[in-house]
Structure 1
Amino acid sequence: MYQHYLLLLLFLGVFSSGLSASTQLIYPQPAQESDSDYPQVLLAKALQTAGLDYQFIPSQDPIVQSRALRQLEANDGIDVVWTMTSIEREKHLLPVRIPIFKGLYGWRLLMIKPASQTKLNQIDTVSALATIPLLQGQGWPDTYVLQANGLRVSGTPQTQDLFDMLLRDRGIAFPRSILEIWTEQENYQSDLVVEKQLALFYPTAMYFFFRPTDTKLAAGIESGLKQMLANGEFDRLFTAYHQQAIDKARLFERKVLPLWNPLLPQLTPLEQERYWYRP
């Protein structure tokens, strides 16, 4: 984590020093301190690679994602947001269609209480999983995906409340991405564990989003990211931040249950193999 912090300081320093006359590019300061700074580092490097002259700075106060998206669309103090794509979001905002996490947020493991492992050992199909009550955030895109596949889902909007529900046996399992679940499990020690046998997968992409009028900026970021993919810098950063979580997930040893994502726009570049992580 300290290495990642130094990377962020390095890239932000490149874009904040001596650029007082440059156009500001304001991103939402994460609402949770535990959020990775990977998107900021990646975006700053893409700006540098594309030769774009912007002062890349966080918002003055932390902003939750739903509010950040509203402010971006309204041109109200936010110039870029990274978030999951959906048909609705692409109607109102301009995506750079390069999945910055290579689809890792669509790879989900189950957070459970230790005693639930025996019950989940019997699950090997999506239809069998439908017998297990799952928890997920109310209004989250992931909830719609799970429900569209016939799974039983309940929950509330707040992540912390969902963990409390799991501890109180209001659900058997809480699907979390492989990038989230390890840190979260450490917070609960032996009260909650990562289920050992299963993985859920549905195609999804997290993009950088801009206002529809910011076509030149979006095109520049796309150019920078493509150059980074070509010269290996994208994969270097991706590996530095995420390889440990990927290794711990042992996806190649798990029974993968594929799910349909009804929210995925038709223009999602699924045919671009280098854009996606494959176990």
Structure 2
Amino acid sequence: MQNRFWVLLISAVMFSFTAPPARGEEIVRMAFPTGAVEFFKYEFGVIELALEHADGDFRLVIEEFPTMTQARISSMMLEGQVDVMFTGYSVERETKFLQVDFPMTRGLLGYRIFLTQADNLPTLEKVESLEQLKKFCIGTGSDWPDASIMEKNGFCVDRAPRDQLWAMLANKRFDLLSRAVHEGFREIDTIRQQHPDVVLSTSTVLAYPFDLFIYVNRNNERLHRILTQGLLRAYHTGDFMRHFLSNPDLRHALETLQAPNTHILRIENPDMSKKSRDIDPALWENIVQRKYDDDVGYEPRDQM
């Protein structure tokens, strides 16, 4: 209880240091782990796009806290200490908060490639079916929604805390570590500095409907409308797709998924609600053989 008091006190003090808003400007508050903001600059850019395109004058303020967890961020949102967060989809989060129904990476988070030990690579690169892939045991984070999706589709899954996964892979505690395509590209060089026998395979991709979504407190319907309005307008102007395609990791992921030697094996996401299944298909990336340079004119269904 005492620890919780100090967390709340630190939160209040840090937010009080935020520069006061300009006349007419509204502050939208977020909390995030210290040092991780740069890693998620694309996702923060999506929220800023929404605020820029909505009616009004808004400024996103991100406060960084050491050892901040997703569970703590969720608690801060429920307590009204922060206004918005983004996290991987789950029915629990969709129920607990108001979900802004725009998949942030257009579903690329649900396209999973695998890190593995170098001696596993020849066998993995011969995989062409779900039955062959199920012969491997896949490591995931203890509370990642991916774990439940893969378990319910009949995969061998080994759950562990996120910060232990790479060392466990290097020590052959499981065969494969699942990462989104763009995450794998972004992380592999850093991982290999500590675990040089770990390699990234792009030959086999496991795909299912999944992504990060923006969430707000269920009592803040106004902010939910603002973010929905802003993202809808960002799509109509082409600004969302320009932001999406300007990200080098996402662009690399798209090119990889289009490569002729990449096998995409699709499974269902049994943990997705009907409401989220019915999100406009134009908001999900359709991985086909096409060019992306001028493809910014998506017209999602009007939601406002």
TM-score of the pair, normalised by structure 2: 0.80
Residue type at the aligned position of 2:74: L
Match of 1:6 in 2: none
Distance in 2 (CA, whole Å) between partners of 1:117 and 1:166 is: 13
Q: How is 1:191-230 mapped onto 2 (pairs within 5 angstroms)?
A: 191-230=197-236
Residue of structure 2 equivalent to 1:13: none
**Per-residue deviation, 1:143:** 0.5
Which of 235, 258, 266 is the aligned partner of 2:266?
258
Do residues 103 (structure 1) and 111 (structure 2) align?
no
Establish whether residue 157 from structure 1 lines up as the match of residue 161 from structure 2: yes
**Of the candidates 79, 88, 113, which is equivalent to residue 92 of structure 2?**
88
CA distance in structure 2 between the aligned counterparts of 1:70 and 1:236, rounded to whole angstroms: 34
| Equivalent runs, 1:11-30 vs 2, <5 Å | 19=22, 22-30=25-33
CA spacing shift, 1:115–1:32, aligned 2, 3 Å:
farther
**1:248 positional shift:** 4.2
Q: Aligned to 2:274, what secondary structure does the other structure show? A: coil
* Closer, same or farther: CA 60–257 of 1 in aligned 2, 3 Å: closer
Residue 69 of structure 1 pairs with residue 77 of structure 2: no
| Residue type at the aligned position of 1:71 | M
Asked if the contact 1:117–1:196 (Cα under 8 Å) also holds between the matched residues in 2, the reply is: no
Moved more, 204-213 or 268-277: 268-277
Cα distance, 1:17 vs structure 2? 8.8
> Bigger CA drift: 119-128 or 194-203?
119-128
Tell me: CA distance 1:274–1:80, structure 2 relative to 1, closer, same or farther (3 Å).
same
Moved more, 55-64 or 225-234: 55-64
Quick check: 1:104–1:177 contact (8 Å CA) kept in 2? yes
In the other structure, the counterpart of 2:127 is 123
Contact 1:47 1:224 survives alignment (8 Å): yes
Distance 2:221 2:69 in 1: 25
CA deviations 1:168-219 (Å, max 9, x no partner) are 0111110100121012211133422111420000001321100111111111
**Structure 1 residues 201 and 226: alpha-carbon distance in aligned structure 2, compared to 1, 3 A threshold:** same
For the residue of structure 1 that corresponds to 2:106, the secondary structure is coil
**CA deviations over 1:130-170 (Å, ceiling 9, x no partner):** 21111111121111011011100113122x31110110011
- State the distance in 2 between where 1:106 and 1:240 align: 20
Structural mapping, 1:26-65, within 5 Å: 26-33=29-36, 35-62=39-66, 63-65=68-70
The 1:165/1:250 distance shift into structure 2, 3 A limit, reads: farther
Shift of residue 271 of structure 1? 5.8
Count of aligned pairs between the two proteins: 262
For 1:221 and 1:269, locate their aligned partners in 2 and report how far apart those are by CA, in whole Å. Answer: 20
User: How far apart, in 2, do the equivalents of 1:121 and 1:198 lie?
Assistant: 7
CA distance in 2 between counterparts of 1:262 and 1:32 reads: 34
Query: Is residue 237 of structure 2 the alignment partner of residue 234 of structure 1?
Result: no
**Which amino acid in the other structure matches residue 50 of structure 1?**
A
- Cα separation, 1, equivalents of 2:276 and 2:153: 20
Query: Deviations for 1:240-272, whole angstroms, at most 9, x for unmatched residues?
Result: 112133324555531111122122111115562
Output the CA distance in 2 between the equivalents of 1:110 and 1:183: 13
**Residue 268 of structure 1 aligns to a residue in which SS?**
helix
AA in 1 matched with 2:151:
Q
TM-score (normalizing by structure 1): 0.86
Residue 120 of structure 1, CA deviation = 1.5
Q: Distance in 2 between matches of 1:164 and 1:29?
A: 24
Aligned 8 A contact 2:49 2:240 in 1: no
Between the aligned partners of 1:251 and 1:109, the Cα distance in structure 2 is: 14
Task: List per-residue Cα deviations over 1:75-114 (Å, max 9, x = no partner).
Answer: 2x21101112221111110011011110111000011111
Q: Percent identity?
A: 22
Q: Which runs of 5+ in 1 are unaligned?
A: 1-15
1:114 corresponds to 2:118: yes
